Amino acid sequence: MLELIPGQNTTLAAGARQAGIRLTWNGHTPVQVRCALLDEALHLPNTEHLGPVHDAAGHLDLVVDLAGVPAGIGGIGLWLAAPDLAAVAGLRVQVSHPHTGPVAEFSPVLGGLSPGSGAALIQVYRRDGQWKVRAEGEGVENGFAGLAQAFAASPRSADAPPDAGFLQFSTGVSLAKQQPAADPPTDPAGRTARATGAASLNLGAARAGTDGWVPPALLSPVRLPTGRVVLGKQRRSLHMPIATGTDGLDMRLTWAPASRPSRAPGPDLHLGALWHLSSGLTGAVQSLGGHRSGPARGHPVLTLTERDETRGEVLHLDLSRAHELHRLVVYVYAYSGRPQWAKLRPVLTTTFGDAAKVEIRIEDVPSAATICAAMSIHRVRENLVLRQETEFLRGQQSSVATAYGFDLGWTRNR
């Protein structure tokens, strides 16, 4: 069974028709749980897409009839609220398949929030015909109302909610009957733009984010590995301390050499990244459009080097400013069309001073994929969490931004 960290996802068994979710915590601390019926972009269309509040203590079970989820619903979010989230000790979420048993577990850490806060725990969502589960662990102020604002679609939809008969709850020690919760503000700001067909950024696209993500605390000190580490099926993530005195972290995209006429252009394969600072500012770094550093003002946190046909392309993270980083999503794309994934066999290698070299191989690519979200990096206190994503998407850079909750403006390259 896979132990998930915040932001990590895994696929449910092929052809799964049901998913079981069990939420447990120590003692009988009272909590409230509700489901959010999300659209294809995993946003909340409107507050009518929030399910009823379930009061529970000790544990809660939810069965999702995946075969019965309407076509317009892209995912189901499981949300939690309590008078004091820090008092909900030993919180654990387990996702199971009815035939194969437990698939994944997640242990959110929700300290440091004010009374009455809420948290998005997990999402069960549909992607390219498959059902997946993603660990979230996102805490926000103002309970369910704050969560609804953080996940709100922009613009809000007037669609009526579907019948939620595909969700079946069973609570632990029942405290009260289901009660309606107060609606969030009538016009919450959306956290993700609905941009489509994008290639280069508007210069004014960087803006304050609204997703309210609160990173969890690491429970023990991290020891940096040495040598070569491959992130893949056996190991999905790696914790790296932000070492004082280390110049930076380099992410290098390389590809297999290929013979071609001397004057022919090199492979159409490029490196880019979406960045989100702790201040809330977001943006992108990529050669297309000339956005080689971010943020544009002041000393950059991220810088993209000039491309070299033999040594590849390097994205540099300045670790002296790593405490300003909230999260980062690194993607691989082509200027036009679909990259020759199988021929080029791209590899993303991350180096951290003289320590480990962390490799992510981009392989087993679906035939229709035009872009790959290869890796994400999250700052968790004094550490960086590197996580393999290899999430293949159809579309352009805006597809990655939408999938990972970045609110950016895009224009088609001309």
Q: Are 285 and 273 in contact (CB under 8 A)?
A: yes
CA pair distance 251, 210, nearest whole angstrom: 27
**Residue 180 falls within a domain, yes or no?**
no
Same domain, 143 and 226: no
Same domain, 131 and 249: no
| Joined tokens for residue 342 | 């199988």
CB-based contacts of 264, cutoff 8 Å, min separation 6: none
Q: What CATH number corresponds to the domain at position 9?
A: 2.60.60.30
Same domain, 264 and 130: no
**Residue 96 falls within a domain, yes or no?**
yes
Asked whether the predicted pLDDT for residue 43 surpasses 80, the reply is yes
**Residue 166 falls within a domain, yes or no?**
no
The per-residue pLDDT for 135 is 92
Residue bearing the bigger pLDDT, 223 or 394: 394
Which of 153, 171, 201 is at the close of a domain? 153
Name the band, by pLDDT with cuts 50, 70 and 90, for residue 264.
low
Same domain, 240 and 386: yes
Q: Averaged over 23-45, what is the pLDDT? A: 88
Asked whether the predicted pLDDT for residue 61 surpasses 80, the reply is yes
Which of 147-151, 258-262, 324-328, 358-362 is most confident?
358-362
CB-based contacts of 174, cutoff 8 Å, min separation 6: 55, 56
Strands 228-230 and 357-361: parallel
- Least-confidence region, from 43-52, 172-181, 259-268: 172-181
Residue bearing the bigger pLDDT, 289 or 132: 132
Same domain, 109 and 255: no
Q: Are 24 and 58 in contact (CB under 8 A)?
A: yes
Same domain, 23 and 100: yes
**pTM, full prediction:** 0.53
The per-residue pLDDT for 290 is 74
Phi-psi region of 367 (alpha: psi -120 to 50; beta: other; left: phi over 0): alpha
Same domain, 147 and 236: no
By residue range, what is the domain housing residue 121? Answer: 2-153
Q: Averaged over 383-405, what is the pLDDT? A: 83
CA pair distance 238, 218, nearest whole angstrom: 12
Which of 112, 134, 153 is at the close of a domain? 153
Name the band, by pLDDT with cuts 50, 70 and 90, for residue 225.
low
Residue bearing the bigger pLDDT, 90 or 15: 90
**Residue 210 falls within a domain, yes or no?**
no
Q: Averaged over 223-240, what is the pLDDT? A: 74
Same domain, 137 and 244: no
Same domain, 228 and 370: yes
Asked whether the predicted pLDDT for residue 362 surpasses 90, the reply is yes
Same domain, 138 and 233: no
The per-residue pLDDT for 333 is 92
**Residue 14 falls within a domain, yes or no?**
yes
Same domain, 250 and 137: no
The per-residue pLDDT for 261 is 53
**Residue 394 falls within a domain, yes or no?**
yes
Count CB atoms within 10 A of the CB of residue 369.
17
Please tell me the total count of domains within the chain: 2
Which of 134, 153, 172 is at the close of a domain? 153
**Residue 377 falls within a domain, yes or no?**
yes
Name the band, by pLDDT with cuts 50, 70 and 90, for residue 253.
very high
Stated length of the chain? 414
Same domain, 241 and 139: no
- Summarised one tens digit per residue, pLDDT across range 161-189 is 788 888 988 764 332 223 333 322 222 22
User: What DSSP line would sit under 76-141, residue for residue?
Assistant: EEEEEE-S-GGGSTT-EEEEEETTTEEEEEE-----S--TT-EEEEEEEEEETTEEEEEEEEEEES
Q: Are 76 and 124 in contact (CB under 8 A)?
A: yes
**Residue 203 falls within a domain, yes or no?**
no
Give the N- to C-terminal CA distance of the chain in Å, as an integer.
47
